[in-house]
Structure formats: structure tokens, C-alpha cells
Amino acid sequence: MAINKQHPAVRHTVGSQYICMNTMSAENEWTETFAADVTELPTVVDVEISDESDAYEVYASGAMYDSDAPVTSQEISETNVAFPAVLLSTLRGEVVDGGVVQGGGYGVRPYFAYGCVIINKDGTKEYRWYPKCKLTENSDRAETSEASHKDQNGTVTIRAYGYDDDGHTYIKALTSETAMADLTAADFFAAPLLTIAAVKALVQ
């Protein structure tokens, strides 16, 4: 048996983030249809993604019979140097009308697709779409200006849910692999993608 030694590229930085609103049903349920336009925001300072799993162990006859840790959703926490006020209000389910925002209360937070790019030191990239997301919280803080510059960053927390019968929460493409080497961000993020076949079609 041969030993295959690999030298994977280290992560270098995070690229833009992408948001596309879902066309929800009359009952405010997620559908596979999205808005025609995707918003690109080159404002990301950092992004952290953690799994929410439903781990379990089954015991029988005095021993562990089965175990698993299925991922039921993922939490995406990202820091921005800026975020469009109208878009943020829309994600919060607030009423936006000609520059006036009415918030709080019982507004329904809409579903949307969230995308991001991870860039490796060797120039390869990892493109990700999370097709079924909702905003769960965001920070709203401002400070007085000082003699020297100080970033006033905000945090947005998003929950990504399973969007198909198998509970998949995301789909991603790795340009480090030969089959995806020519895939560009412009093509991948032109519209939310839901299947492996849809991603492969972009490079055929």
C-alpha cells in the first residue's frame, strides 16, 4: 500500500460575500426560485462557520450499536467593515419604503442565499453557496471619530438550513481540483446553485 503525501495550500484571506433573496411562497416558505439579481459585498473582515449537529449514540446488548452526528444547520458569523442599511433591514424583515424603515414587531424574516469565497495562498479558491438562510442577529454600534483611524465593524449572524430531502446546507466548488480549475467567481455566483450537476454545468 503506497503513501500519498499531500501539501495542501494554507488559507490566505476571505473574498467577497454574495446575497440573493429567495422568492418565498405565499405562506412565507422557502422555494427553489430566487431573485434575478445577486448582491456582491467586498466588505468581509472575517467569517466563521460552525456546524449545528444532532449527535446521538444507540446502545444495545451492552455495547454501542450505532452513532452519528448529522448536521442539521450551520451558523455563519461574519464581520463587515460596512453593510448596506436597506439590505440589512430587508433581511431583518423590516418595512422599507423610500428611505424610511419601520422595524421591530412581528415582521417575517425572509429566506435568502448566502455565498462567500475563501482564497488560498497559492491562488486557488473555494466558492460556497448556502441556498437557504435567515438572518438571526446583527450588531448595531457606532463610535465617535478620533484623531487616528479606527475601523467600526459590525457583525452579522446567519443560519443556513437544509434545503433538500437529504438535508444539505451548502454546495461548494474547489478550484484546486482540475475539474474546477477554470471556474470563476462571476460564473459561480451569478445565481444560487443547488446541485452538483448545476456546478459542473458551469465548466462544461
Residue 124 lies in a domain: yes
The rounded mean pLDDT for the chain is 86
pLDDT at 142: 46
Residue 2 lies in a domain: no
Residue 189 lies in a domain: yes
Residue 3 lies in a domain: no
pLDDT in tens, 129-178: 999 999 987 665 545 555 555 555 788 899 999 999 999 999 999 999 99
% of the chain beyond a pLDDT of 70: 83
**pTM of the prediction?**
0.84
pLDDT at 192 over 60: yes
Provide mean pLDDT across the span 75-95. 89
Residue 4 lies in a domain: no
Domain span including residue 174: 11-142+151-203
152 by DSSP, 3-state: which? coil
pLDDT in tens, 46-68: 888 887 766 556 666 666 656 65
Provide mean pLDDT across the span 69-74. 73
Q: Cell numbers of 103, please?
A: 422595524
Strand stretches in 3-124, DSSP E: 11-21, 39-41, 44-53, 56-60, 63-68, 71-80, 95-97, 100-102, 112-120
pLDDT at 70 over 70: no
Residue 5 lies in a domain: no
Specify which residues 76 forms β-bridges with. Answer: 49, 158
Specify which residues 160 forms β-bridges with. Answer: 74, 133
pLDDT in tens, 74-84: 999 988 888 88
pLDDT at 67: 61
Provide mean pLDDT across the span 33-41. 96
Amino acid type, 143: E
Higher per-residue confidence, 107 vs 170: 170
Residue 1 lies in a domain: no
Domain tally for the chain? 1
Residue 159: enclosing H or E segment and its boundaries? strand 154-161
Residue 57 lies in a domain: yes
